[in-house]
Amino acid sequence: MKEQEYYQEIEHLIKKNEIGKRTRRIEENNSLVETYWHIGKIIVEAQGGSSRAKYGNELIKKWSIRLTKAYGKGYNYTNLSRFRQFYLYFPILATAWQVSWSHYRRLLSIKDENKRNFYLNLCIKKHLSERELTKEIKSNSYERLLNKPAKIEIEMPKTYSITTDMKNPIIIPIQNKVNNEHDLEVSILANLDYFFKQLGQGFAYIAHQYKLVQNNHNYFIDILLFNYEFNAFVIIELKLRSLRKEDKAQMEFYMKLVDEQVKKPFHNRTIGIIISKESDEFIINFVREDDIIPLYYELEQEILKKR
């Protein structure tokens, strides 16, 4: 190999490792938020519903003693009370699962719902860190609004759907600011379980940055999946820009490589999905049988209403 090819090998390994580290951090936060939300829900239900849970009872004290002894101070009385409050303030998990637990812990101190939702929306729009959120609260950003809406709703994240022969919409939750293809890849990889549930039946994760070799050149597929209902591999390529003619050619080349090097004779031809960006909107481009079909996103809020 030439010097540049050796360098690209090193860069690929570093890139894959960095994506893995970021993905694990996001997965850990998502798991934390989801766990705390469900604990809060169970506490509320055990107390007889939200009306009784507002006042609390001896149940949390009793459980906190047992849980603290078994799992540490993270499940003491104060924190169990926070989890209960977290569920009461954000009773829909789809709205709760958007920022980190440190953000939510700061927001729980805000009693006014409009004010609380204003700051949560601000975190989502501007991708504020917990320190930046605290600064906004201390500077009275909400109080200084000239025209406060009568009702501030929590903004749902944008999601994107495929409406071809795939049975269900594909939904990609974007939780953090997307500056490059790596960020988009991390968002997908960090939410694979949620992603697959929306994707449809039969999808399984194979690998990310999947390496293929032809004529001593290395090629890396962003994400490789398999669908046992289609009996086909599915390639996902990410482009943080408008779709170009060469993107279709690149995808067809990758599909050909997978067909030649990975798929077995009993598998169907490989399917390609290109996620590209037009202005501020992401577009799913579905490639199959030499055709390319652009499909625009839907809002998760609208999808939830249809269910």
Tell me, rounded to whole angstroms, the distance of Cα 258 from its chain centroid.
27
Q: Which pLDDT does position 296 carry in this prediction?
A: 36
Q: Which pLDDT does position 167 carry in this prediction?
A: 36
Minimal CA–CA distance to 207: which of 78, 68, 62, 16? Answer: 16
Please check whether residue 208 is in contact with residue 185, taking contact to mean a CB–CB distance below 8 angstroms.
yes
Q: Which pLDDT does position 173 carry in this prediction?
A: 59
Q: How many CB atoms lie within 10 A of CB 111?
A: 8
CA dihedral 273, 93, 32, 16 (to 10 degrees): 10
Cα–Cα distance, 78 to 54 (Å, whole number): 15
Pinpoint the alpha helices (H) of 181-222: 181-189, 192-199
Cα–Cα distance, 289 to 157 (Å, whole number): 32
- For 12, the token pair is 């690929």
pTM for this structure? 0.54
pLDDT, tens only, 99-131: 889 999 999 999 999 999 999 989 877 878 889
Q: Spell out, as residue ranges, where the chain has pLDDT lower than 70.
A: 1, 8, 12, 15-16, 18-23, 26-27, 50-56, 94-98, 156-179, 191-201, 278-286, 288-307
Residues with Cβ < 8 Å from 139, sequence gap 6 or more?
none
Q: How many CB atoms lie within 10 A of CB 38?
A: 13
Q: How many CB atoms lie within 10 A of CB 70?
A: 8
Sequence-separated contacts (24+) of 201-208 with Cβ below 8 Å:
201/167, 201/168, 201/229, 202/227, 202/228, 202/229, 202/230, 203/227, 203/234, 204/228, 206/233, 208/16, 208/19
pLDDT, tens only, 235-264: 988 777 777 778 888 888 898 899 999 988
* Residue 80 DSSP SS3: helix
Minimal CA–CA distance to 210: which of 201, 220, 200? Answer: 220
**Run of H or E residues at 127:** none
Q: How many CB atoms lie within 10 A of CB 280?
A: 6
Q: Which pLDDT does position 204 carry in this prediction?
A: 83
Q: Which pLDDT does position 275 carry in this prediction?
A: 75
Cα–Cα distance, 114 to 293 (Å, whole number): 41
Cα–Cα distance, 57 to 70 (Å, whole number): 21
Q: Which pLDDT does position 249 carry in this prediction?
A: 83
Minimal CA–CA distance to 155: which of 229, 240, 228, 98? Answer: 98
Q: Which pLDDT does position 161 carry in this prediction?
A: 39
